[in-house]
Structure 1
Amino acid sequence: MAANAEAVYDVLTAGRTRHLRLGALVELAAAEFPGLVPTPDELAQDAARRQSDKRGLEIDVGIFMHGILSAPVAGEHLVDAMLRPTPRALARLDEFRRTGALDLGSVLVRRDGAAAHLTMCRGDRLNAEDNQQVEDMETAVDVALLDPAVRVGVVRGGVMDHPRYRGRRVFSAGINLKELSAGRISLIDFLLRRELGYLNKIVRGVRVDHEQSWRSPEIEKPWLAAVDGFAIGGGMQMLLVFDRVIAASDAYLALPAAKEGIVPGAGNLRLGRQAGARLSRQMILGGRRIRASEPDARLLVDEVAEPEDMDASVERGVALLDSPAVVANRRMVNLAEHPRDRFRTYMAEFALQQSIRIYEDDVLGKVNRFSAGAAAPR
């Protein structure tokens, strides 16, 4: 792959005339280059095993993705392919435009005035993400970006059923460690798709042909996150791509990557730039929690509101972002803060390192202990 990634990718995409998503690219690679990556059947058989019992076939997928993303032409084309709307989103778009609402299972989408409100509603598991929630979030982000009646996107956690938080909103507990221990967190469908899919679409928009394509190939909109309770791990990673973050005064933020043992997506790329190197290391390597009420939280959130005032703060935040000038300026800010080439090369290394980490003994031991306890964050 180090020597032939561009040529391999050209074969798979017919000279970059086809825009294949991650899963389709790996499946075709298995057919066109036998032995390069596992076949779909091999991956399906391995997916049925607990993480500690798997054969580690996804490491070959990580090596393959590292090669493609490291190649400048192929990697850029793949990143662009992942910015295109999913077939599921296109199939549900008319329904959303007609009714202003979608129930995607783990995510509810509701249009209210200029805003599309995406509510994560895995109330029994504190919005801990799994493969399905990544699928639902990408669908929701796509329809919000594609609906011309929507000018601002809002992401918030719903009301919980979990005994410790019943009746309260929670943003996200991060990756679902029980699902990871059970072997149901996919490198392709979760760990890579999450970063190259809906999170990158929040930053860059959705890539489609549209009336202003000459100005920008993507449809972009500003995004706001509202944090109730806590944003841990993947939940904290999400906040780093939003244009405005509002947190309840009793909420806290954490990115305990070293504690969990895995690489926190593109959090390592973004947190230091936003909050500084020292705070980034304290959170990622040392597990430091940042409470919304402490001064350092101002490096991570734009506004702190009393819990009872969160709805009003969200409404004011939407009004603040609802401006064509915001769209143009966020584009220029993101070009400076999230250079495409830097993101691509980071994701290349992430694909390799994460594919290895999820099979390391220390990670398997930690996730097995966490999932056995099934304890909620305190």
Structure 2
Amino acid sequence: MTTAPPRPGPVLDGWQRLTDTVRQAEKTLSALPTPADRTAAQRAAADAVKNRARAERAGFLDMHADAVYDRLTDGRARELRIGELVEAAATAYPGLVPAADLLERERARPQADKEGHEIDQGIFLRAVLRSPVSGPHLLAAMLRPTDRALALLPEFRRTGVVRTTAVRLERRDGVARLTLCRDDRLNAEDDQQVDDMETAVDLALLDPEVRVGLVRGGEMSHPRYRGRRVFSAGINLKNLSSGDISLVGFLLRRELGYLHKLVRGIRTEHPAAWHTPYTEKPWVAAVDGFAIGGGAQLLLVFDHVLAASDAYLSLPAAKEGIIPGVANFRFGRYVGPRLSRQVILEGRRIRAAEPAARLLVDEVVEPEELDAAVERSLARFDGDAVLANRHMLNLADEPADAFRAYMAEFALQQALRLYGADVIDKVGRFAAGSS
């Protein structure tokens, strides 16, 4: 993508001041050893120049975020997903966000040896999302079906089956059955899983023969759980330690993409677009084994959740050191502030059989009865009035502007957490101990 240079004026002046600061920071950093090999004094020097550049970026975007966004999107005539948006910003405003080649080199390094350039993406996306003008436009762009899903739609309409690396999607009796099938890693989440899940959710929402969706974990080949169903072990900490979990491609795309689509639906041009551009459907989840971290976060966007009586849920944010997605925004709505803090801040595990679980799970049944209970729940959600009432419940429970404000701050705070010394140390020890 090519973009004309900024016109003379305040935006250009501010950007030129920013680029001067960024060049100085890059010069200082290039003279230092890689982050893992720096002395305490060298780390302090690196932090100082990076913080000066980040303060300059934040100040520039406080003043000009909407002007930048309008230039990148042709006055909001074009809809760019977050990945496309940061790439466009890197081309149009070098130094505002890291260039693609810089991120590619950074991605090849373990987390402990990165400079943290993704933090600059977090600064940019926080400014865009918190704008009442640009933010809603970006959220709307993220609710469009992906090109991958549109390409696979004819096959899915014809066969009712699509198999990807992380998700098996089958349409049967009007139900889109999404089975999480990373059987060797307990359905741990990574960039591939996010891409596959968004594709499957899009297909389920696009197919007019689908009336309700189901998400459930498949049988595992992992030695400890061989032959047993597992819902999700959450974020893949090995991938985080090795530097293979990205801010934009995983952490933000996950929340603004398929999870948000489960709540709001997808934006399409359809015959009923005169009253709503969204296509929504009800969703059911069934938990076998456990829903840890991202798995537990996922349950918060479903209309009905069932769990086997021997399952458990947890959000080990304090242990991992990162923010558990949008759980901090949604969890208290289900369980109240006290239990929310116990789970998120203290790592309390909730077992399906204990009373507190009924705040998060609609039905708890014996493992051998779960299949039948799932089918009964799917039948209950196959009704014409369900969609309208679901739409109004979600509108009341999660107003779009409140979600956008949360995601704006999350974009930066999660980026900062990714590069926290405690996170790098914890995930490094986890990866070493599980290898």
State the TM bucket, normalised to the shorter chain.
over 0.9
**Is 1:232 aligned to 2:278, yes or no?**
no
Q: Deviations over 1:28-62 (max 9, x none)?
A: 10111111000000011100100010111000000
Point out which structure has higher relative CO (alpha carbons under 8 A, 6+ apart). 1
Q: Pick one of 298, 316, 324 that aligns with 1:264.
A: 324
**Is 1:35 aligned to 2:95, yes or no?**
yes
C-alpha distance in 2, partners of 1:241/1:374? 31
Q: What TM-score do you get using the length of structure 1 for normalisation?
A: 0.98
**Is 1:311 aligned to 2:371, yes or no?**
yes
**Is 1:369 aligned to 2:398, yes or no?**
no
Q: How many angstroms does 1:374 deviate by?
A: 2.2
Q: Which deviates further from its counterpart, 201-210 or 302-311?
A: 302-311
C-alpha distance in 2, partners of 1:55/1:226? 40
- 2:137 maps to 77
Q: How many angstroms does 1:106 deviate by?
A: 0.8
Q: Pick one of 88, 97, 116 that aligns with 2:148.
A: 88
Q: How many angstroms does 1:225 deviate by?
A: 0.5
Please say which structure displays the higher CA radius of gyration.
2
Q: Pick one of 24, 36, 39 that aligns with 2:84.
A: 24
**Is 1:189 aligned to 2:239, yes or no?**
no
Paired residue secondary structure (1:154): strand
Q: How many angstroms does 1:118 deviate by?
A: 0.3
C-alpha distance in 2, partners of 1:347/1:211? 31
Q: Pick one of 103, 114, 118 that aligns with 2:174.
A: 114
Q: How many angstroms does 1:175 deviate by?
A: 0.3
Q: How many angstroms does 1:215 deviate by?
A: 2.2
Q: Pick one of 154, 157, 162 that aligns with 2:222.
A: 162
Amino acid at match of 2:189: E
**Is 1:6 aligned to 2:69, yes or no?**
no
- 1:349 maps to 409
C-alpha distance in 1, partners of 2:81/2:430? 32
Amino acid at match of 2:387: V
- 1:221 maps to 281
Paired residue secondary structure (1:3): helix
Root mean square deviation, CA, Å? 0.7
Q: How many angstroms does 1:65 deviate by?
A: 0.4
Amino acid at match of 1:357: R
Q: Deviations over 1:257-276 (max 9, x none)?
A: 11110001100000001111
Q: How many angstroms does 1:373 deviate by?
A: 1.9
Structure with bigger helix share is: 2
C-alpha distance in 1, partners of 2:146/2:164? 14
C-alpha distance in 2, partners of 1:343/1:2? 20
- 2:193 maps to 133
Q: Pick one of 95, 114, 119 that aligns with 1:59.
A: 119
Amino acid at match of 2:389: N
C-alpha distance in 2, partners of 1:247/1:352? 34
C-alpha distance in 2, partners of 1:52/1:2? 30
Percent identical across equivalent pairs? 66
Amino acid at match of 1:78: L
Amino acid at match of 1:66: R
Paired residue secondary structure (1:67): helix
- 2:350 maps to 290
**Is 1:124 aligned to 2:184, yes or no?**
yes
Q: How many angstroms does 1:279 deviate by?
A: 0.8
- 2:391 maps to 331
C-alpha distance in 1, partners of 2:325/2:87? 23
**Is 1:172 aligned to 2:172, yes or no?**
no
Q: Deviations over 1:164-189 (max 9, x none)?
A: 10000000000000000000000000
C-alpha distance in 2, partners of 1:241/1:169? 21
Paired residue secondary structure (1:123): coil
Runs of 4+ in 1 over 2 A off after TM superposition: none
Paired residue secondary structure (2:310): coil
C-alpha distance in 2, partners of 1:218/1:284? 32
Structure 2 unmatched runs, 5+:
1-60
Q: Pick one of 362, 372, 381 that aligns with 1:302.
A: 362
Q: Which deviates further from its counterpart, 195-204 or 362-371?
A: 362-371
- 1:98 maps to 158
